[in-house]
Amino acid sequence: MGLTDAIKKAVRFDVPIIGCVKCLTFWCVLTWTIFHGMNIVHGIALSLLMAWCALWFELAMGIADTYYLRVYEKYYQDQHGAETTEDASSSATEPQKDAVPKL
């Protein structure tokens, strides 16, 4: 994701294939195979295979991100709940419920 953002800043105009991981993978692999003298049919086949792998990798990363957000939300709620009981016992002010954690 950082690579595509850097390319967008360097190019300074919208290139549609940069926004799609599968398209970017396909065209990069195809270009690499052509420059290295691979047969065009084998190059297209390898490009399609790598784009398919990028699709599944992107899906796996999305699932991992969803699980991470669920775990973080649960952890933050548990931690925030503990802070609420400590603050309530030590002072009369109520803590903010929409506070953003500092990293």
Token pair 């709620």 is found at 77
Which is more confident, 100 or 45?
A: 45
Q: Are 18 and 7 in contact (CB under 8 A)?
A: yes
Which is more confident, 75 or 25?
A: 25
Which is more confident, 86 or 54?
A: 54
Q: Are 14 and 39 in contact (CB under 8 A)?
A: no
Predicted structure pTM score: 0.58
User: What tens digit of pLDDT does each residue of 30-82 get?
Assistant: 999 999 999 999 999 999 999 999 999 989 999 999 999 988 888 887 777 65
Print burial letters for 53-65: b (CB count within 10 Å at least 16), e (below 16). ebeeeeeeeeeee
The distance from CA 28 to its chain's CA centroid, rounded to whole angstroms, is 19
